[in-house]
Amino acid sequence: MLGPLSDQQREVLERMRHVTEHLTSMIEEVLAYTSLETGVEQVRTTDDFLAADLLFAAASIVQPLCDRKGIALVVQSAAKPIRMTTDIDKARQILVCLATNAVKFTEHGEVRLALLDTDSDVHFTVSDTGIGIASPDLKRLFRPFSQLDGGLTRKHGGTGLGLYISHKLASLLRGRIDVESVAGKGSTFTLKLPKD
């Protein structure tokens, strides 16, 4: 009962873990969507923290996903410390969504998280060497329940709410998300947030 697991038992446990993570993620997205649509979502400002801490927190969450797929996670912080004021939980939620999407759609290569300081904004970029997005599909990215690989046989799961929620949360934080992508070559999502 408590002895070593067989390969078959390990495989079943891994499937169970994967399904549990997937269902938890879907429930969290539906709850966040409901809060945003009903207008009850509120910004709870966290005063004066280091932007790099937010970047490394997101990286620690997606590192195991990268390890499982055998892709590299590269984290680049800014040369000088950047202090900012925002709702750290919502900002982390956005970054984690962007980074987990990058891992999901990358089969080989890397996912890169980087930080850039401008005069008034902090830019968090999430780049990947994944499948990329065709130009006509870019305008559909932030629509609720929209998936670019839709259909019963789509390879990648999800509710189609992650980017919509991230877009709405970025607006709540007085920021935005920009996207650059080339089909077959990868994507770069940039979360731009004011410093205060």
- Rounded CA separation 34/42 (Å): 13
SS3 sequence, the chain? CCCCCCHHHHHHHHHHHHHHHHHHHHHHHHHHHHHHHHCCCCCCCEEEEEHHHHHHHHHHHHHHHHHHHCCEEEEECCCCCCEEEECHHHHHHHHHHHHHHHHHCCCCCEEEEEEEECCCEEEEEEEECCCCCCHHHHHHCCCCCCCCCCCCCCCCCCCCCHHHHHHHHHHHCCCEEEEEEECCCEEEEEEEEECC
**Is residue 67 included in any domain, yes or no?**
yes
Range of the domain at 103: 7-194
**Is residue 1 included in any domain, yes or no?**
no
**What does the pLDDT read at residue 141?**
86
Nearest to 185 by CA among 130, 122, 109, 124: 130
Q: What is the CATH number of the domain that holds 67?
A: 3.30.565.10
Residues in a beta bridge with 50:
83
**What does the pLDDT read at residue 9?**
81
Q: Are 123 and 92 in contact, with CB atoms under 8 Å apart?
A: no
Written as tens digits, the pLDDT of the chain (196 aa) is 667 888 888 777 777 776 676 566 556 666 666 777 777 778 889 889 999 999 999 999 999 999 999 999 999 998 899 999 999 999 999 999 999 999 999 999 999 999 999 988 999 999 999 999 998 888 888 887 666 554 433 454 556 788 998 999 999 999 999 999 999 999 999 999 999 8
**Is residue 29 included in any domain, yes or no?**
yes
Domains held by the chain: number: 1
**Is residue 100 included in any domain, yes or no?**
yes
**Is residue 49 included in any domain, yes or no?**
yes
User: pTM for this structure?
Assistant: 0.79
**What does the pLDDT read at residue 64?**
92
- Rounded CA separation 148/134 (Å): 10
**What does the pLDDT read at residue 12?**
79
**What does the pLDDT read at residue 138?**
86
**Is residue 145 included in any domain, yes or no?**
yes
**Is residue 2 included in any domain, yes or no?**
no
**Is residue 33 included in any domain, yes or no?**
yes
**What does the pLDDT read at residue 31?**
65
